């Protein structure tokens, strides 16, 4: 159920939706959740063989694919978990301190 209210200095807490409730789908692009990352994956394009094994293991869908090739990370959403680096068979991803 969508709640179309304006939140400003006149609103009372009873009129605001409870935290954690999701009223619309597909809004993750609006929120940059990579800001709390402490480690950062670095894509080394020269080493990449385009096996794409890193893509399905990324829990944040932070590895974009364009024209059937992976590109650099979408750092706005990447949490720096390092799973992609662990599955890369040619070490085309290095994890660095942020």
DSSP letter string, 11-80: --GGGSPPTT---SSS-GGGS--GGG-SEEEEE-TTT-----THHHH-TT--S-EETTEE-S--TTT---
According to the model, what pLDDT value does residue 23 have? 65
Can you tell me the mean pLDDT for 76-87? 95
Q: Which domains does the chain have, with CATH numbers?
A: 28-97 (3.30.70.20)
Encoded tokens for 18: 């409870």
End-to-end CA distance of the chain: 39
Q: Tens digit of pLDDT for each residue in 47-75? A: 999 999 999 999 988 999 999 999 999 99
**Strand 69-70 vs strand 65-66: parallel, antiparallel, or unpaired?**
antiparallel
Q: In this predicted structure, what is the pLDDT of residue 38?
A: 94
Residue 1: per-residue pLDDT:
42
- pTM of the predicted protein model: 0.69
Q: Percent of the chain, pLDDT > 90?
A: 57
């Amino acid at each position: 159920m969508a709640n179309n209210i304006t939140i400003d200095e006149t609103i009372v807490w009873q009129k605001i939706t409870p935290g954690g409730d999701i009223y619309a789908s597909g809004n993750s692009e609006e929120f940059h959740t990579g800001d709390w990352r402490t480690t950062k994956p670095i894509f080394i394009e020269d080493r990449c063989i385009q096996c794409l094994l890193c893509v399905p293991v990324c829990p944040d869908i932070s590895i974009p694919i364009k024209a059937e090739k992976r590109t650099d990370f979408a750092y706005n959403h990447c949490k720096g978990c390092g799973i992609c680096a662990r599955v890369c068979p040619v070490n085309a991803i290095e994890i660095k301190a942020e």
